[in-house]
Chain A
Amino acid sequence: MKLLPILILLMLSFHSIAGVEYKKFEDPQKEQAYRVLIDELRCLVCQNQTIADSNADLAKDLRRQVYEMLEKGQTRDEIVDFMIQRYGDFVMYNPQFKAKTGVLWVAPFIFLLVGFILVWFMSRRKKMQENSQANDQQKAQQAKVRKLLDEGDQS
């Protein structure tokens, strides 16, 4: 069965390499930075693709921009700032944490917390119900026993 591994390999998609022009880097570190950066920047024309994935003209231009800035020796942060200054926070798939984007980052944790609190309340209520039910049963049994005992006394 050599077919299976081959099939699995075929199913992997090398999305950040496919369909994009080749950029030549002398410095492998810069090449790595380029790969990472173009995978983090959003193509604003086709909004749910990174500029690494997109064939849109704008994505091509932005890749060229990233490439040129890296070759000029600019850092990742400088490039990210450059893009945000022009296109806004939306251009990053992981926007920087600031007042404007805070809700985006914090909201999931708030929802999680609310969820936990809800579960805790519900489980507590259920337990209390079970307890009181058990109490009722116990009382009913005791009453029955007493009744039987009382009846026994009469005979």
Chain B
Amino acid sequence: MLKFVIPLILFLVMAVFLAMGLSLNPRDIPSPLLDKPAPDFSLPILAEPDKILSKADMVGKVWLLNVWASWCGSCRAEHPVFNELASKNIVPIVGLNYKDDPWAAKQWLAQLGNPYQVSVMDQEGRTGIDYGVYGVPETFVIDKQGRVRYKHTGAVTWNDVQQILLPWVKQLNAEI
């Protein structure tokens, strides 16, 4: 009897762990930045390259930082979602145009619409490294004091906006 029960139990335990492993997304790496101050940046603005936007300019507001690039396929997929969100005027969205060609980036926005209050250019990807960006698109929710409170890796869907991003924005707006 025991001869069959023990292998069966071992098998079940392994099956449970393997099933858990299958349902995990290996691309979803927890960000060590959570609840820490968002890294500083001072980057030229895509539309007016002689002007600079830095993190300090956003202090006092809850805002989204969306990392995007014209060469990135999933960015195209999530773009309509951000257009829709921007049209509701709930939260400012700042674009971090990551390792992109400015001309191609502007072209992209002209074609697909521009949900960003402003986009800044990180042509060398240094701000990307500071934010731990490893797969575009990524979206950060940043609070009034400039701390990263939530990070989304990969394309954002309208579901994510309603169930994750907007509740975060609401909660953070309620904070002093």
Binding site for B on A (CB under 8 A): 44-45, 47, 57-58, 61-62, 65, 84-90
Contact = CB atoms under 8 A, between A and B. Distances in A.
Contacts of A90: 29
B42 to A, nearest CB: 18
Contacts of A87: 29, 32, 132, 134
B135 A44 contact: yes
B7 interface: no
Contacts, number: 39
Given A57-B125, A61-B129, A65-B129, A85 B134 contact: no
B125 A86 contact: no
Given A44-B134, A45-B134, A47-B26, A88 B99 contact: no
| Chain B interface main SS type | loop
Interface residues of B, number: 20
B99 A85 contact: no
Interface in B8-41: 26-27, 29-33, 39
A86 B99 contact: no
Contacts of A57: 99, 125
B135 A86 contact: no
B130 interface: yes
A89 B32 CA distance: 8
A85 B32 contact: yes
Given A45-B135, A57-B125, A61-B125, A86 B130 contact: yes
B63 interface: no
Contact of B129 (A45, A86, A89): A86
12 contacts: A44-B134, A45-B135, A47-B26, A47-B27, A57-B99, A58-B125, A61-B124, A86-B130, A86-B131, A86-B132, A88-B30, A89-B32
